[in-house]
């Protein structure tokens, strides 16, 4: 157990509960103060966002490898009086919190290989001719974070699989940011010490106490005595979220020894990404809530197995549907599930209070793909949704796909970077910011 840390006067701190090998970051609690720390409460600390200060802006980018079936994704009407398409029906509770875009893309070709430029707008082969290479929007934003958060960014997705696994995040030197491949590894990244001895101590505590919350229980009870009613409710909400994630992971573990049905396709690297997806979303929400990071990316690849949804053919095969309606119907089931989990994530962010608003109010959430039509291997007219972030949402904004009126997707990214606080005149192949994207 760490020793009590005295707090200098007039210094706000970010707080952690600690046990051997375990570090549980807490959300910002206004009633914690240097006086509380000086009273001898055993917590860790790290410089960061000031308690009670204006909440920071966050950025989450979510993409899949094969796009969406556009006739059922893009709404038929434009403007604010649009009706949600079939694939977007689960987003109805959040329609006023998001904007659907059509006609935006990077103006590049390459099929499956061009999807790796989704967050950069620049193909790897073209990076040397660009001022900032093929740096992705998440890493460009992360450059401004410095040591404000424990993790400048979190990149999550398959490490192996079709087309080399997750390749969504890139540094300005053209280096791929290695992804965290699953919920177990992400959970350990957020809550368990990094070196071997810390992990061993954490494993020992988990075997004795059963969970992270039980391991830090003594300090948690001590902490609660120093909180006002509002912060106690906030802490209870956060602990409930951590406990829910632990239960979901335990439930997933219980299926490890259950025989699986015989598959008609070759078993992919990640066989349970469908059940992992809500856990990954919950962990991302926890990371944002505790200000462990302000930037996260999540890529859904070929490992998003279709069998748990009662579909026999694999994701990649379904994306090449050949206009066969039966195949399209199966593909839509898979895509609908992805949108439903995205809607659940938005609801999660909206349920978390964050200063004068919710976590969604202060988080830009990009959802889409670098693939426009996987069946035809085209990278035009990409499926794009932007939610939250303090923007004035509630419409479908359509742009010309060709000609003088064409608008690069990087214009949206440049606007998002400005909202994040990045002072730059361009990003990727942008020609300016996206006009009409207003604050709420």
330: domain CATH number is 3.40.720.10
What pLDDT does residue 211 have? 76
pLDDT of residue 199: 65
> What is each CA distance from 83 to 10, 69, 78, 86, 329, in whole angstroms?
52, 17, 9, 9, 21
163: left (phi over 0), alpha (psi -120 to 50) or beta: left
- Domain enclosing residue 73, as ranges: 54-182+270-420
- Taking every pair of C-alpha atoms in the chain, what is the biggest distance, in angstroms? 69
- Are 238 and 289 in contact by the 8 Å Cβ rule? The answer is yes
Question: Is residue 24 in a domain?
Answer: no
- Enter the pTM of the model: 0.81
Helix (H, G, I), strand (E, B) or coil at 395: strand
Which token pair is 93? 């509770």
Work out how many domains the chain is built from and give that number.
1
From CA 66, how far away is CA 9, in angstroms rounded?
54
pLDDT of residue 107: 94
Handedness of CA 48, 50, 52, 56 (dihedral sign): negative
Q: For residue 426, is it within any domain?
A: no
In a domain, 197, yes or no: no
In a domain, 6, yes or no: no
DSSP state of 37: H
CA distance 104 to 114: 15
Where the chain has pLDDT below 50, the residues are 1-13, 34-52, 255-271
Tell me whether residue 32 is in a domain.
no
Q: Which residues neighbour 261 within 8 Å (Cβ) at sequence distance 6 or greater?
A: 307
Q: Looking at the domain assignment, is residue 34 inside a domain?
A: no
Of 417, 433, 429, residue with least CA distance to 143: 417
The reported pLDDT for the residue numbered 290 is 87
Could you tell me if residue 404 is inside a domain? yes
Answer whether residue 259 is part of any domain.
no
């Amino acid at each position: 157990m760490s020793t009590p840390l005295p707090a200098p006067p007039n210094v706000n701190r970010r707080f952690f509960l600690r046990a051997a090998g375990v570090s549980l970051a807490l959300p910002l609690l206004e009633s914690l103060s240097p006086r509380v720390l000086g009273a001898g409460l055993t917590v860790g600390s790290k410089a960061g966002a000031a308690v009670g200060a204006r909440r920071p802006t966050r950025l989450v980018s979510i993409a899949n490898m094969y796009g969406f079936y556009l006739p059922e994704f893009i709404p038929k009407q434009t403007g604010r009086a649009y009706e949600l398409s079939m694939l977007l029906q689960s987003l109805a509770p959040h329609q006023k919190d998001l904007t659907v875009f059509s006609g935006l893309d990077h103006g590049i070709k390459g099929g499956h290989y061009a999807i790796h430029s989704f967050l950069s707008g620049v193909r790897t082969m073209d990076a040397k001719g660009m001022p900032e290479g093929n740096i992705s929007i998440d890493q460009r934003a992360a450059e401004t974070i410095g040591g404000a958060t424990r993790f400048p960014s979190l990149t999550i997705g398959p490490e192996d699989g079709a087309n080399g696994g997750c390749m969504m995040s890139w540094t300005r030197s053209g280096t791929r940011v290695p992804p965290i491949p699953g919920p177990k590894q992400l959970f350990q990244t957020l809550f368990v010490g990094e070196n071997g001895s810390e992990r061993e101590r954490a494993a020992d505590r988990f075997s004795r106490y059963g969970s992270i919350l039980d391991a830090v229980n003594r300090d948690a009870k001590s902490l609660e005595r120093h909180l006002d009613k509002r912060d106690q409710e906030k802490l209870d909400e956060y602990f409930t979220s951590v406990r829910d994630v632990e239960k979901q992971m335990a439930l997933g573990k219980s299926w490890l020894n259950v025989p699986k049905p015989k598959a008609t396709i070759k078993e992919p690297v990640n066989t349970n990404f469908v059940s992992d997806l809500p856990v990954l979303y919950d962990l991302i929400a926890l990371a944002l809530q505790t200000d462990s990071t302000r930037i996260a990316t999540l890529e859904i690849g070929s490992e998003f197995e279709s069998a748990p949804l009662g579909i026999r053919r694999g994701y990649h095969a379904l994306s090449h549907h050949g206009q066969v309606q039966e195949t399209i119907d199966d593909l839509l089931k898979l895509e609908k599930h992805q949108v439903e989990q995205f809607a659940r994530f938005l609801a999660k962010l909206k349920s978390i209070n964050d200063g004068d608003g919710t976590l969604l109010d202060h988080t830009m959430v990009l959802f889409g793909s670098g693939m426009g039509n996987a069946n035809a291997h085209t990278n035009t007219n990409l499926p794009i949704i932007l939610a939250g972030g303090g923007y004035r949402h509630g419409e479908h904004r359509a742009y010309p796909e060709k000609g003088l009126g064409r608008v690069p997707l990087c214009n949206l990214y440049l606007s998002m970077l400005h909202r994040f606080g990045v002072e730059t005149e361009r990003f990727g192949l942008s020609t300016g910011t996206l006009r009409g994207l207003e604050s709420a």
